[in-house]
Structure 1
């Protein structure tokens, strides 16, 4: 899974981009400030495969982070900014940015430019898993639709986001921390009771016997997985 570090201080845009990238199968870490972005980059193991970087951050300019990254790494960096001056675009591209997107931009354009940047660095991309079908359960992430034995299943937005994250890694264990970060945000990675609550709700809707789950499986002390559709 391709790891993306998104550094963006606008809460709504950050959430929108995180959800869109996650739907495409990217593993996304988010930061709301320059210092947080640098800290995540420094301590991430393995490091991110690509960085989406805003410029106008509350504790400094994203250009500082770009300079820091370029001293140590050739990771692709896509600048996302409302600043439109040609001079700044040219300076940042010359300083090592792989691309520069002016806000507002479409999600489709961002995804396409992200693929190009990764491809230029030799990173192979696998198609995102957006459809799951096994034992009467069908999950279509693109259509935002879940059916069980032909009947529509109503999920809350949070339940759907949790199921979608598991679908994208079907057959693999996703850790508690990763699920909490991807579904609720980085600031909720210690709130494991959220997972227990929502996993219980999903099992009540999708399992024949929620007390003996066959689809939504627990890896004790580690995380959860959705049974592989090929199983």
Structure 2
């Protein structure tokens, strides 16, 4: 089962994404701060299959997480298109607002890249 970590300080958005991805059969862990995600990664020594993180998360932007979890595919969400230019090449950008169908495609395309 694929594990997705979602990091956002918007509780309603976390709930919506978790319910939608769980419905797809994915295991989802949510974090409302960057620090909580850092701690979970360091304590569990377990890597998620993909991380979906809000750019404007408290303690962010999530670039420190990008470096800590460099072997984990990462998607950064933001309503500001300028953010995309600030991301490393291996990090995907997801424009807010988004449709749930699009988030499935972005996650699947990030994790199951051909090649």
TM-score above 0.5, yes or no: yes
1:103 alignment partner in structure 2 = 96
Query: Any conservation in 2 of the 1:93–1:100 contact (CA below 8 Å)?
Result: no
Trace 1:162-173 onto structure 2 (pairs within 5 A): none
Cα distance per residue 1:117-149 (max 9 Å; x no partner): 111177xxxxxxxxxxxxxxxxxxxxxxxxxxx
- Structure 2 residue 83 is the aligned partner of structure 1 residue 91: no
Which 4+ residue blocks in structure 1 deviate beyond 6 angstroms? none
1:186 alignment partner in structure 2 = none
Cα distance per residue 1:125-182 (max 9 Å; x no partner): xxxxxxxxxxxxxxxxxxxxxxxxxxxxxxxxxxxxxxxxxxxxxxxxxxxxxxxxxx
Structure 1: state its 5+ residue gaps: 123-231
Shift of 1:91: 2.6
Bigger relative contact order, structure 1 or 2 (CA pairs below 8 A, ≥6 apart)? 2
Shift of 1:108: 0.4
Q: In structure 2, how many angstroms separate the alpha carbons of the residues matched to 1:62 and 1:121?
A: 26
Query: Any conservation in 2 of the 1:4–1:52 contact (CA below 8 Å)?
Result: yes
SS in 2 for 1:110: helix
Root mean square deviation, CA, Å = 1.7
- Structure 2 residue 65 is the aligned partner of structure 1 residue 65: yes
Shift of 1:45: 5.2
Q: In structure 2, how many angstroms separate the alpha carbons of the residues matched to 1:75 and 1:47?
A: 7
Q: In structure 2, how many angstroms separate the alpha carbons of the residues matched to 1:93 and 1:108?
A: 25
1:75 alignment partner in structure 2 = 72
TM-score, length-scaled by structure 1? 0.47
What is the number of residues matched between the two proteins? 115
Query: Any conservation in 1 of the 2:53–2:62 contact (CA below 8 Å)?
Result: yes
2:106 alignment partner in structure 1 = 113
Query: Any conservation in 1 of the 2:8–2:53 contact (CA below 8 Å)?
Result: yes
